[in-house]
C-alpha cells in the first residue's frame, strides 16, 4: 500500500525553483523517523541526494535542500538545470510495517 505520497510530477524552467513534497503519517515521518531522498535517472540505479532530513550526500550541489515538518518532508531544487531531470524518491521507516518505505516518486521535468 502507499505509505509516503509524492506528486507524480513537478516542472520548472531552467534557473527556477521546484519543490517536491513527501506526505506520510504518524507511523513514519510523523513518528520522527529520518527522511532521505534519492535521484534516479532513467535506466540507472537510484543515487542518494539527501540523508537524515537535510544533509547533502557527497558531491551533491547546494542547489538541493530538504526539510521536514510534522508528517511531511520536502525537497527543494533551486537554479534548476537540465541535468536535474530525473525521478526523485523519499524514504523513511514505518513502525507499523516494521520496514523501510519509499515515496511514490516524482518526475522532475525541466521545461
Partner 1 sequence: EVQLVESGGGLVQPGGSLRLSCEASGFSFSSYAMSWVRQAPGKGLEWVSAISGGGSSTFYADSVKGRFTVSRDTSKTTLYLQMNSLRAEDTAVYYCATNRGSVQRVSPSNWLDPWGQGTLVTVSS
Binding site for partner 1 (CB under 8 A): 33-34, 36, 38, 40, 44-48, 51-52, 57, 89, 91, 93, 95, 97-105
Give the Cα separation of 93 and 76 in Å (integer): 21
Place of cell 532521505: 36
If the CB atoms of residues 2 and 16 are measured against partner 1, the closer one turns out to be 2
In the complex, least distance from residue 67 CB atom to partner 1, rounded to whole angstroms: 16
Give the Cα separation of 31 and 82 in Å (integer): 36
Report residue 95 as a C-alpha cell. Answer: 513502525
In the complex, least distance from residue 4 CB atom to partner 1, rounded to whole angstroms: 10
Amino acid at each position: 500500500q502507499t505509505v509516503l505520497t509524492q506528486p507524480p510530477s513537478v516542472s520548472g524552467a531552467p534557473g527556477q525553483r521546484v519543490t517536491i513534497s513527501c506526505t506520510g503519517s504518524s507511523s513514519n515521518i510523523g513518528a520522527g523517523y529520518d527522511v532521505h531522498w534519492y535521484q534516479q535517472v532513467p535506466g540507472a540505479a537510484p543515487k542518494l541526494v539527501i540523508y537524515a532530513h537535510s544533509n547533502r550526500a557527497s558531491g551533491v550541489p547546494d542547489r538541493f535542500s530538504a526539510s521536514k515538518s510534522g508528517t511531511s518532508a520536502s525537497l527543494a531544487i533551486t537554479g534548476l538545470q537540465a541535468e536535474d531531470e530525473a525521478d526523485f524518491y523519499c524514504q523513511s521507516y514505518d513502525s507499523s510495517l516494521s520496514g523501510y518505505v519509499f515515496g511514490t516518486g516524482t518526475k522532475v521535468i525541466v521545461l
